[in-house]
Structure formats: structure tokens, C-alpha cells
Amino acid sequence: MKYLLGLLLVWPLIGVLTPPSGATANFTAQDRADIKRIEVYLNKFKSLRSEFVQVASDRYAEGIIYIERPNKLRLEYTNPPHIQVYSSGFWLTYIDTELEAIWHVPIKSTAAGLFVRETIKLAGDISLHQVKREPGVISLVLSQTEQPNAGTLELVFTERPLTLRKWNIIDGDGISTSVTLFAAEFDISIPGSTFSFDETLYQYRAD
């Protein structure tokens, strides 16, 4: 199940991560301006549909991600096709159609939980550690304030126009899981059935 959680965009649950070197540094005026600009951007769009590719070590997955704020998420994996992920509230639900089994984890314990909040605030229960810049790209490194050793999430944006393109989850061993978006569409209408499934078809498993 721990490997499955890795596929779910879950904050790493194993190991102790040393906070990034920028965790205690003071942010510059430019950093603060960019953080605010990104926060405004993240709150501006209410829905997202995008193809994605997910890479973790030697494991590869791909599919389509749907987000409708607040609280609705669907990961429709096409490779591997037997994995499906849903959320429409408190729980993130993982389904393995080959095993005919289902798992639940609180969505707030996942990186995906950040994207489906009604209002995204990069403060409070989210701690910002670092603003990184490369030509045409800006990234934020953050973690959960109450669980600073649970891992970090790096959000990667193109600069012009400001657009979410990728996120990286880094675990206590320094292993990165990356999710890259392709052909992303924002603020589109998504049928409600996209986020629905028949839970009675599957057996609940705790681990």
C-alpha cells in the first residue's frame, strides 16, 4: 500500500526529511511578491483537466487529472489502467480494479489536497521554504506545517504566462516523484459523473 500511496500524490509518509536550506532564510521582496502572485493564480482557476505523466524512480504512470474546487478530484490512470483515484470531500479514494479493492486516505494528508481547497493559502498549515528561479520558470518548495518531516512538495510554474506545469514530491531518502501536466485546460465544465463511482463494487482494505 505504501507504493500505492506514492502513486496517489500523497505527501511522503516514510522517513525523516531535513528541511531545505532555504527553510529558515528570509524571503526577499521579490520572493514575497512572487508568492502572492502564485497564490492569486492558484485561487483564480476553479477547474482543471489535463493529461499527466508521473515518474517515481523506475516507475512510470500516465493518465488524465480532473480537478473541480472545492474538494473534487479524479485521477484517471490509463497506464496502469487498473488504478483509479477519486475525491469528493474528506476522503481520497484509491481503487484497484484488478484486485477489486478500495482504500481511503484523508485528502488533507495528500499533496492533491492543496489543489482542491476552496481557498488556497500559502501560509498557516502550509510552510514555504524556498522560492527557486530558472529562466522562464519559478518554483515554490513547501511542506505541511504540522508535519514538517513528512516530506516536501515543489510546485513548478512557467513564468509567462504564469501556469502550473509540474509538481515534485521528495521523500526522506531524497527520492522524487514528479507529475508533469500536458495540454492543461483551466476553468472548463466537467460533468459531475466524472467524480462518481459505485463503492459497493469493491472491497475496502485498510492496508
pLDDT digits (tens, 9 = 90+) for 122-133: 988 888 999 999
Q: What is the pLDDT of residue 150?
A: 66
Cell numbers found for residue 10: 500523497
pLDDT digits (tens, 9 = 90+) for 17-31: 334 444 444 899 999
CA distances from 44 to 22, 70, 181, 184 (A): 27, 13, 18, 15
Contacts of 171 (CB under 8 A, 6+ apart): 12, 14, 15, 17, 151, 177
Strand-by-strand arrangement of the 126-134 sheet: 126-134, 137-144, 152-158, 163-170, 176-186, 47-56, 59-68, 72-79, 83-88, 91-96, 101-106, 203-204
pTM score, whole prediction: 0.84
Q: Give kind and range of the element (H or E) at residue 42.
A: helix 29-44
Residue 1's pLDDT band, with cuts at 50, 70 and 90, is very low
pLDDT digits (tens, 9 = 90+) for 166-206: 999 876 667 788 999 999 999 999 999 999 888 777 776 65
Answer yes or no: are the C-beta atoms of 71 and 87 closer than 8 Å. Answer: yes
Q: What is the pLDDT of residue 173?
A: 67
Residue 76's pLDDT band, with cuts at 50, 70 and 90, is very high
Contacts of 120 (CB under 8 A, 6+ apart): 39, 42, 43, 114
Distance in angstroms (rounded) separating the CA atoms of residues 55 and 1? 18
Domain boundaries in the chain?
A: 2-7+16-183
pLDDT digits (tens, 9 = 90+) for 90-111: 888 889 888 888 988 888 777 7
Query: Based on the number of CB atoms within 10 Å of its own CB, is 155 exposed (0-12), middle (13-18) or buried (19 or more)?
Result: buried
Distance in angstroms (rounded) separating the CA atoms of residues 164 and 73? 16
Q: What is the pLDDT of residue 182?
A: 95
Distance in angstroms (rounded) separating the CA atoms of residues 5 and 48? 22
Q: What is the average per-residue pLDDT within 137-161?
A: 86
Q: What is the pLDDT of residue 205?
A: 63
Cell numbers found for residue 86: 477519486
Q: What is the average per-residue pLDDT within 81-90?
A: 88
pLDDT digits (tens, 9 = 90+) for 29-61: 999 999 999 999 999 999 999 999 999 877 899
Q: What is the pLDDT of residue 15?
A: 30
Q: What is the pLDDT of residue 11?
A: 43
Answer yes or no: are the C-beta atoms of 149 and 16 closer than 8 Å. Answer: yes
Q: Which fold has domain 2-7+16-183?
A: outer membrane lipoprotein receptor (LolB), chain A (2.50.20)
Q: What is the pLDDT of residue 85?
A: 92
Q: What is the pLDDT of residue 14?
A: 30
Distance in angstroms (rounded) separating the CA atoms of residues 102 and 72? 18
Cell numbers found for residue 40: 492569486
